[in-house]
A and B are shown apart, each in its own frame.
Chain A
Amino acid sequence: MTDLVTLKIDGHEVSVPKGTLVLDAAAKLGIEIPIFCSHPKLDPVACCRMCLVEMSGPRGASLQPACAVPVAEGMEVNTQNENVRSTQEMMLGFILVNHPLDCPICDKGGECPLQDQTMRFGPGISQLVEPKRHKNKEHLISDTIVLDQERCVVCWRCIRYLQEWEDKPQLALFERGGETLIDIQHGQPVDAKTGGNIIDICPVGALTNRVARFNFRPWQIERTPSIDPHYSTGDNIRIDTRTHQIRRIVGRENMQVNDQWIADKTRFAYEWVNSDQRLQHPLVRKDGELVPASWSYALQYVVDRLKEISRKNGADAIGGIGSTKLSNESNYLFQRLMRQFIGTNNVDHRNGGDVAALATGLPALADIMKPQYGPNPKVDTIFLVGFDPSEELPILDIHLKRAVLRGGAKLIIAHPRQIELTRYKGPHLAYKPGSEVTMLNVLTKLAMSAGEKNDAELSKLLTGATQQALKDVCDVAVDEAKRAAELLAQSENALIIYGPMAADGPNGPQVINALTNLAMITGHYERLAYIGLDANSQGCRDMGVLPTKLPGHAELDDAEARARLEQLWGCTLPTEPGKTYKQMLDAAGGAIKALYVMGADPASERPDWAANLDKLDLLIVQDLFLTETAQLADVVLPALSWAESNGTFTNCERRVQRAPKALTNPHTKAAADWMILDHLASRLGANWPYADEKGVLHEITEAVPIYRGLTWEALGDQGLQWDAAQVRPTAEYRQAVQPEATASAEYPFALVTGTVSYDGGNMFALTKQMHNIAYGPIVGISPADADRLSVADATPVTVSSPYGALQVQVKISEQVKPGTVWIPESLPQSPVGALLNGSSAEYVKIEA
């Protein structure tokens, strides 16, 4: 137990740990001290002087800020006497001198600490007769955040958030005295990916949400605790609704997941839910055109055609594509439908069976987090392989920054691009895409010598891994690799995270072998983690939406799992392994005659897949929008979004969290995914017993051993983690072989892909306020290469590989390494998949 300090506040004695601030000690007694600048998740600064209370000290009683003074033994604090009260009245008077009092048009009105404290602690009358100062009223500090400098009380919370959590000091104070104002620096807008959090913590209406501006009043909205539909960190949010519309999204505290911060995309990009482009009724193709149809007709049509194709071509001519954006319930029923009634294992999702993933996910996000008042993170070294949190998971990104800045953690980055986190001076291994295996093998060898651990068996497997190979194949400096290996070998608790980019395609199994070797020899095997990117990347795998795995990560020939599921479902399960996502789409129109696509849009990924999908006998698409895939479909079934139906999502640390229904749309005929599947099943002859989503979840707890006990009621508002030990594969050394690279004189550039937050997807693109910050169709080129090719920013160029070509615009970027080009995935009108051939590594050429 830490040392306790006893002090007296208003005559009541209280004992608190040493170092506690007087403000928190008072809160423990239930005594409220008014504050503006103090925030439980930011460093104290004591600039608003609202919390002045009388404290006894060596020089007698004096007024001191309760938010910045730590407790001392025998201290006597008085928060109620005349001196304190008149000071509080005076401070509020000063704060209100230039406050415009335009509460009727202020979005904060009704939940404003300044309003509340003026009513509680204020003088009740105004002494002001002079005119107020005027400053900028509607000042955009980014495309999504509006600053009203008149309302600002200069508490610095926004400045401190950007500094302490984002490590991007993009806001600052300007001028002096009464003229003091907060503004952006050099006209550069706030572009931090979690910058919207400053709206939540602003104690007045100075910072407001431009997307939700004037759309709500705090007293009229319904609040539903939910989770983020975009990112796999599963950030906790609150959805505020009114009249069947989402009016606003704000962060919700979960100290195990996101502290209380959420990403900007989560906060601002929700327009797609209320969009009038949403599908309203089922569509069936008649005479080459999609026409509205009734549910019963569309479902019967689907069932009849599926039966017909199954009879004619066999069950394995039918495939199903699930989605990492949909809930566990939808995905579970989807694979049950495919396995039970179609009788095929052809069921997969994007980045599913094609990616060599680990079932276990991150050990725990809390191991990386450094809360304001809490211990240092458990993890002391973090090794990121082919994973860019700044673009892919912004909340994990701020956790990592904080762990490095305040928790003393070290960061090692292996990424072909010089990603944002490389500014923390950790070793950066800028490998050539496709050479991950060699890099990891050499790293393993270096770690062995650095840690003085010799393993004969492992040494035999690493014969080709020489420092020369590191230079030739990977183009990585040996010194950097040595530094990285030393850090890993010395670390007691290193976390190794790899993303889908590193483990995609035929390369994947080799990469995972190499990573396992490295993690085992350095003693970090339990903390080797694959991280999916979408909201339910983990849950989709847990539910068995994989061609070679049954629910709960059981192998297809696992007798115990088969018996359990066959008894529960009352059927015999197919035994043949199915086709993966890429194999199904490559074979579409050939061996695959019918595809059921739920919540995915493969046609937009690669033009040849779009052509294949067009050749299918039957394409069923279940989605929110008429996507490129849906436009090719024979039947389109309109579904409901995550906010309109109940569901659970499993985040990257295996935390199962609830996303309850927040709103209904009375105009639409669209139905929840699980309900569509349930109706299809009943037309296929089943009688599934689910009354609602909670019933489906209840069955999941029986069908999937790792989900045992995780019922809707048990999950609560903060979710529950399942135990990774049950599915962790046994550790053993395996050989990892470097696949051949195919650079040639004709195609000199290595292609780097990867995900970006602000892409061209529907979920993002429909929010018009964010259009300016979205990526266009671009190709990132290093300044050196741009010089050589004599191209400038925004020059239109053609990037081509042996498989296809793409029209894009040049974007010169310091992040890109010479000899490589960078085209992110899912950009508008530039499907990078056109250049790829199943793998993520490819060589391309650029022509102006």
Chain B
Amino acid sequence: MGFERFIKGATEIGKAMGVTLKYLRQKPITVQYPTEPVPVYPRFRGKHELRRYENGMERCIGCMLCEAACPTGAIYVDAAENDPQNPTSPGERYARTYEINLLRCVFCGDCEEACPTEAIVLGHDFAMANFNRRDFILTKPELLNPGEPNVVIRPE
């Protein structure tokens, strides 16, 4: 009786260990976040970015259409006139102030949709925790990607 139980138990353990050994040979599904990056889908909507053209100019022209499209009032734009000698963006107008309040944003992507120059895009960064409420308001230096143009901007 005792022996039979022993054999049965050993078999069960052997079965269970079999499952473990089977998965030991496969690649693990878990990821070492945050030490390793997590892949996201290409159309994932994360933290916003303001893009530049290849010549280094800002794409944003300060038209405020993103602000109008935003369902939660998370965007604030103030436009100004470009200095013809030292332009920020092509044309006469650029965004002097561009702010996004992440506490209000619902990451719907309507701003991307509304943008006539594809300046504002929702990127793939989703880790946006912060210690300070004020830090949830992103301003132009935090939004621009790349922050500094990689090339020298010349007026056309």
Contact = CB atoms under 8 A, between A and B. Distances in A.
Given A214-B80, A214-B81, A215-B79, A220 B92 contact: no
A378 to B, nearest CB: 47
B65 interface: yes
Contacts of A215: 78-79
Interface string A201-215: 000000000000111
A220 B91 contact: no
A104 B65 contact: yes
A220 B65 contact: no
A102 interface: yes
Nearest to A242: B78
Interface in A104-147: 104-105, 109, 137-138
B102 interface: no
A217 interface: yes
Contacts of B80: 214
Interface residues of A, number: 13
A217 B64 contact: yes
B116 A219 contact: no
Contact of B93 (A105, A220, A243): A105
Interface in B84-115: 91-93
Contacts of B76: 243
Contacts of B92: 105, 137-138, 214
Nearest to B95: A214
Contacts of A102: 91
A159 B100 CA distance: 43
Contacts of B68: 217, 219-220
Given A102-B91, A105-B91, A220 B79 contact: no
A106 to B, nearest CB: 9
A138 B117 CA distance: 21
Interface in A186-236: 213-215, 217, 219-220
B120 interface: no
A131 B38 CA distance: 47
A353 B67 CA distance: 54
Given A220-B67, A220-B68, A213 B81 contact: yes
Nearest to B76: A243
Contacts of A109: 63
A104 B116 CA distance: 7
Contacts of A219: 68
Contacts of B61: 104-105
Contacts of A138: 92
B64 A105 contact: no
A219 B79 CA distance: 15
Contacts of A214: 62, 79-81, 92-93
Contacts of B67: 217, 220
Contacts of B79: 214-215
Nearest to B97: A243
A102 B92 CA distance: 11
Contacts of B62: 105, 214
Contacts of B63: 104-105, 109
A141 B92 CA distance: 17
Contacts of A220: 64, 67-68
Contacts of A243: 76
A109 B116 CA distance: 14
Contacts of A104: 61, 63, 65, 116-117
Contacts of A105: 61-63, 91-93
A137 B91 CA distance: 10
Contacts of B64: 217, 220
A137 B116 CA distance: 20
Nearest to B84: A138
Contacts of B81: 213-214
B118 to A, nearest CB: 12
B139 to A, nearest CB: 15
Contacts of A217: 64, 67-68
- Which of A105, A109, A137, A219 counts the most B-chain CB atoms under 10 A from its CB? A105
Nearest to B80: A214
Interface in A396-411: none
A499 B84 CA distance: 46
Nearest to B77: A217
Contacts of B91: 102, 105
B94 to A, nearest CB: 9
A90 to B, nearest CB: 27
A143 to B, nearest CB: 14
Nearest to B65: A104
Contacts of A213: 81
Contacts of B93: 105, 214
A217 B66 CA distance: 12
A104 B92 CA distance: 11
A214 B76 CA distance: 14
- Which of A109, A138, A214, A220 counts the most B-chain CB atoms under 10 A from its CB? A214
Which 4 A-B residue pairs are closest in the complex by CB-CB distance?
Answer: A104-B63, A214-B79, A105-B93, A104-B116
Interface of B: 61-65, 67-68, 76, 78-81, 91-93, 116-117
12 contacts: A102-B91, A104-B65, A105-B61, A105-B91, A105-B92, A138-B92, A214-B62, A214-B79, A214-B93, A215-B78, A220-B64, A220-B68
